[in-house]
Chain A
Amino acid sequence: MMNLLVIFLAAAFTENILLARFLGMCSFLAISRQMKTSVGLGFAVVFVTTFTAAINWLLHTYVMVPLGIEFLEFIVFIVVIAAFVQLVEMIIERFSPSLYFSLGIFLPLITVNCAILGVSLFMLNKQGFGFWESLVFGFGSGIGWLLAIILMAGIREQIKEDKIPAGLRGSGITLIITGIIALAFVAFSGMIK
């Protein structure tokens, strides 16, 4: 139990998928302009990373390793993710059309959101992860991403009216703020040995 908690905290804070590993930057930069869509996309990412990590772990352990086709892992993972995103898209469209329209193009783009594939790949890089560890790792990583995008969206809504040098507007200032948030997250690294 303790072990799972450590994995969760490490994935969400010390090894934050966005702030320490730079994954999922594209949609982060584009979407964090608005709080509402950020929260929506953030939860979609949490949901997708958790389940794809678990599914991919199962496939890798029980199908690819016994058959000796680990080199195909990239293709298998990306297909699993694409299929899963399609499912999430249909669910959101059915239950929350307004969210569906505001997320627009970014829902299908979760497929090529590096964070999702990254979680699955990093999961394999960790030695000795079992099923539950992988599930928790996926969940923690997703939560880390959600946390980062909510922080960013909150800050960006505050600075909307501020005077910013023309060249820095948009991605420039967002990256600087991300850097500062990342700096704050570095402080978490003492938390877990």
Chain B
Amino acid sequence: MAFKDTAGGKALIKNLWSDNPVFRQVLGICSTLAVTNLLKNTLLMCGGLVFTAGLSSLTISLLRNYIPKQVRMMVQVLIIAAYVIIVNIFIRARFPDIHKTIGPYVGLIITNCIIMGRAEAFASKNPAWPSLLDGIGAGLGYSLILVFIAIVREALGFGTLMGFALPFRDIWWYQWTIMVMPPGAFFMLALVAWFGNAYVLKKEGGAK
């Protein structure tokens, strides 16, 4: 059986593209959109997010038969919070400079709707291995879009990528200040949502 036909593989691919949470519903952008004006910060945040999404899905799935129904949400939030604390300590130790600017946003991974959504919709009903892949897939699918937004914003706003100057920066370049500012992120995300929606509509239209 090919990997993409297993339950876990299917979940991973589905979250990555066809059911991408940002494309379809614009969910969970809160915590990470704010750091998308620099690619480096975005990659770090996305790494933390994939880590948290994967491992919290795994843990929730392993514990799914022991968690009482009534306090389910609370337990899930606490599990997610525990992993975010690990991410936070790691970033503070390894990247102290970046931590100063993105510090509070790391904590906000806890309230990212995607992680919570996957925990509730998938991990609490499925075995461990598919849940892990499902979480990772959701995290990666989401990172894909944010990294794209970050590349555009940093290139247009600062003329750099990962802090290195782009070749055209010295020859011809005009700073798009708006891309550095918050409105730039809203406009970029609107474009992404537009393309995502148009793509989905077209596919559905074609299926009819």
| Interface residues in chain A, defined as those with a beta carbon under 8 Å from any beta carbon in chain B | 19-26, 29, 71-75, 77-79, 82, 108, 111-118, 121-122, 124-125, 165-173, 175-176, 178-180, 182-183, 186
Q: Which one of A22, A79, A169, A170 lies within 8 Å of B29 (CB-CB)?
A: A22
Where chain B touches its partner, the secondary structure class is helix
Q: Judge whether A172 and B185 touch: CB under 8 Å.
A: no
Q: Judge whether A112 and B85 touch: CB under 8 Å.
A: no
Can you show 18 pairs from A to B with CB atoms below 8 A apart? A21-B34, A22-B29, A23-B34, A23-B108, A26-B30, A78-B77, A79-B78, A112-B110, A117-B111, A121-B107, A165-B198, A167-B197, A167-B198, A168-B190, A171-B190, A171-B193, A182-B181, A186-B183
Min C-beta distance of A24 to chain B, whole Å:
7
Q: Judge whether A113 and B34 touch: CB under 8 Å.
A: no
Measured between beta carbons, the chain A residues less than 8 angstroms from B85 are 71-72, 74-75
B116 within 8 A of A: yes
B112 within 8 A of A: yes
Q: Judge whether B104 and A175 touch: CB under 8 Å.
A: no
Assuming A114-B31, A171-B193, A182-B186, is B78 touching A75 (CB within 8 A)? Answer: yes
Measured between beta carbons, the chain A residues less than 8 angstroms from B84 are 74
> How many CB-defined contacts (below 8 Å) exist between A and B?
134
Min C-beta distance of B111 to chain A, whole Å:
4
B182 within 8 A of A: yes
Q: Judge whether A114 and B197 touch: CB under 8 Å.
A: no
User: Which residues in window 166-204 of B have CB below 8 A to A?
Assistant: 178, 181-187, 189-190, 193-195, 197-198, 201
Alpha-carbon distance between A188 and B89 when the two chains are bound, in angstroms: 35
Q: Judge whether B182 and A108 touch: CB under 8 Å.
A: no
Alpha-carbon distance between A125 and B77 when the two chains are bound, in angstroms: 23
Alpha-carbon distance between A176 and B197 when the two chains are bound, in angstroms: 14
Measured between beta carbons, the chain B residues less than 8 angstroms from A122 are 104
Q: Judge whether A112 and B26 touch: CB under 8 Å.
A: no
Q: Judge whether B194 and A74 touch: CB under 8 Å.
A: no
Q: Which one of A29, A75, A121, A176 lies within 8 Å of B104 (CB-CB)?
A: A121
Min C-beta distance of A79 to chain B, whole Å:
8
Min C-beta distance of A65 to chain B, whole Å:
17
Measured between beta carbons, the chain A residues less than 8 angstroms from B28 are 26
